[in-house]
């Protein structure tokens, strides 16, 4: 079993993972040996702080080991070895593979040829571990997920937005995406089609608007992401800034949301761009709770895929 896309997991599976994440967070000592003898290969094509440190810490705290593998220094990165051969070879050495890659197709190929579980640590298309950690954070703060209103504002055509659309639609949440009218900043049609099919079952809703105030109105959660991801060329920054500036999350915009709304950001953040400092560093911000919950949800994912229910509790 892999975690490459949340579209492949049922609502019941997502609920199971979150329940496991809650238990692991409360009783980490019960899982101190859950992955004893297990090795996770971590393939990195893109830079990382949270993904690398959280997965390494998760493996160590559950008695396992991780291997950091930089594609820039590898035969795969230099084009001398195929993804298929890398997957088949690595599967002979380790119990699981986590990869952080640029292309969705490369992640899917890795999952196709590996004979051990593959975890998507990020691609240009999706970021499922982030979305699961986000759901855990929202559930902690709000007590439930179905019926909650999440407003995402900014660049809607990115991996975090896509995975949030998958996750929220499966869990019966209401998700509003506030983004520029330019199609380059809107969620991919394929993702929207999937999300709309999921809400027909879950009872949630999905809406795309091009006004930040409309998106945030009465929201329980206000979410944004960096405007300048790693892959954005420098020459595009000025144009992107001009188009996205109306979607900056300010204290004034937050006042359109519920009085008990929380502010979320997957980090890294650029204060003064996608949000102001008084928002991200203010009392409604839960961004570092999000960052912490990446560790707990990834422990739950690793325990399920690599170790089953081998806790010591």
Tens-digit pLDDT profile for residues 145-172: 999 999 999 999 999 999 999 999 999 9
| Rounded CA separation 135/245 (Å) | 27
Same domain (yes/no): 39, 141: no
Concatenate the DSSP letters of all residues of 106-141 into one string. HHHHHHHH-SS-EEEEE-SS--HHHHHHHHHHHHHH
Same domain (yes/no): 25, 139: no
Same domain (yes/no): 92, 150: no
Asked, for residue 1, whether it belongs to a domain, the answer is no
Is residue 310 scored above 60 in pLDDT? no
Same domain (yes/no): 63, 33: yes
Burial group, residue 259, by CB count within 10 angstroms (0-12, 13-18, 19+) = exposed
Same domain (yes/no): 69, 181: no
Domain span including residue 177: 128-290
Same domain (yes/no): 107, 239: no
pLDDT at 238: 85
Same domain (yes/no): 144, 191: yes
Asked, for residue 31, whether it belongs to a domain, the answer is yes
pLDDT band at 230 (very low <50, low <70, confident <90, very high): low
pTM for the complete prediction? 0.95
Asked, for residue 196, whether it belongs to a domain, the answer is yes
- The answer to whether 236 and 205 are in contact (CB under 8 A) is no
pLDDT digits 0-9 by tens, 272-303: 999 999 999 999 999 999 999 999 999 999 99
Asked, for residue 183, whether it belongs to a domain, the answer is yes
Look up the CATH number of the domain holding residue 56: 3.40.50.1370
Contacts for 178 with CB less than 8 Å, ≥ 6 apart: 151, 152, 153, 154, 156, 209, 210, 211, 212, 214, 215, 216, 247
pLDDT at 311: 39
Asked, for residue 312, whether it belongs to a domain, the answer is no
| Rounded CA separation 56/33 (Å) | 15
Same domain (yes/no): 110, 71: yes
Closest alpha carbon to 216 in 182, 246, 191:
246
- Dihedral sign for Cα 232, 234, 239, 243, please: positive
| Rounded CA separation 300/172 (Å) | 22
- The answer to whether 66 and 11 are in contact (CB under 8 A) is no
Dihedrals phi, psi of 167, to nearest 5 degrees = -70, -50
Asked, for residue 136, whether it belongs to a domain, the answer is yes
Asked, for residue 181, whether it belongs to a domain, the answer is yes
Asked, for residue 231, whether it belongs to a domain, the answer is yes
Same domain (yes/no): 123, 162: no
| Rounded CA separation 35/27 (Å) | 15
Same domain (yes/no): 53, 174: no
Number of domains in the chain: 2
Same domain (yes/no): 132, 152: yes
145 conformational bin, left if phi > 0, alpha if psi -120 to 50, beta if neither: alpha
Same domain (yes/no): 143, 224: yes
Containing 264, the helix (H) or strand (E) segment is strand 262-265
pLDDT band at 236 (very low <50, low <70, confident <90, very high): confident
């Amino acid at each position: 079993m892999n975690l490459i896309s949340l579209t492949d997991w049922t609502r019941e599976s997502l609920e199971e993972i979150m329940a496991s994440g809650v238990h692991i967070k409360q009783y980490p000592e019960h899982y101190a040996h859950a992955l004893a003898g297990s090795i996770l290969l971590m393939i990195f094509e893109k830079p990382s702080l949270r993904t690398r440190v959280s997965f390494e810490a998760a493996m160590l705290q559950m008695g396992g080991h991780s291997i950091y593998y930089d594609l820039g220094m590898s035969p795969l990165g230099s084009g001398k070895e195929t993804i298929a051969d890398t997957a088949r070879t690595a599967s002979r050495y380790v119990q699981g593979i986590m990869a952080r890659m640029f292309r969705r197709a490369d992640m899917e190929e890795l999952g196709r040829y590996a004979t051990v579980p593959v975890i998507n640590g990020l691609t240009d298309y999706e970021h499922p571990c982030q979305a699961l950690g986000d759901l855990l954070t929202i559930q902690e703060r709000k007590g439930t997920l179905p019926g909650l209103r999440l407003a995402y504002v900014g660049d809607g055509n990115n991996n975090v937005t896509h995975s949030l659309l998958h996750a929220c639609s499966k869990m019966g949440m209401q998700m509003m995406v506030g983004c520029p009218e330019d199609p380059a900043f809107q969620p991919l049609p394929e993702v929207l089609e999937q999300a709309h099919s999921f809400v027909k079952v879950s009872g949630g809703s999905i809406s795309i608007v091009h006004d930040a105030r409309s998106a945030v109105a009465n929201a329980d959660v206000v979410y944004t992401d960096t405007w300048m991801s790693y892959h954005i060329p420098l020459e595009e920054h000025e144009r992107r800034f001009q188009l996205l500036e109306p979607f900056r999350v300010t204290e004034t915009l937050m006042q359109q949301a519920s009085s008990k709304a929380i502010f979320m950001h997957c980090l890294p953040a650029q204060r003064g761009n996608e949000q102001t400092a008084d928002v991200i560093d203010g009392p409604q911000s839960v961004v570092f709770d999000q960052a912490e919950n990446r560790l707990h949800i990834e422990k739950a994912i690793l325990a399920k895929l690599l170790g089953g229910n081998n806790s010591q509790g």
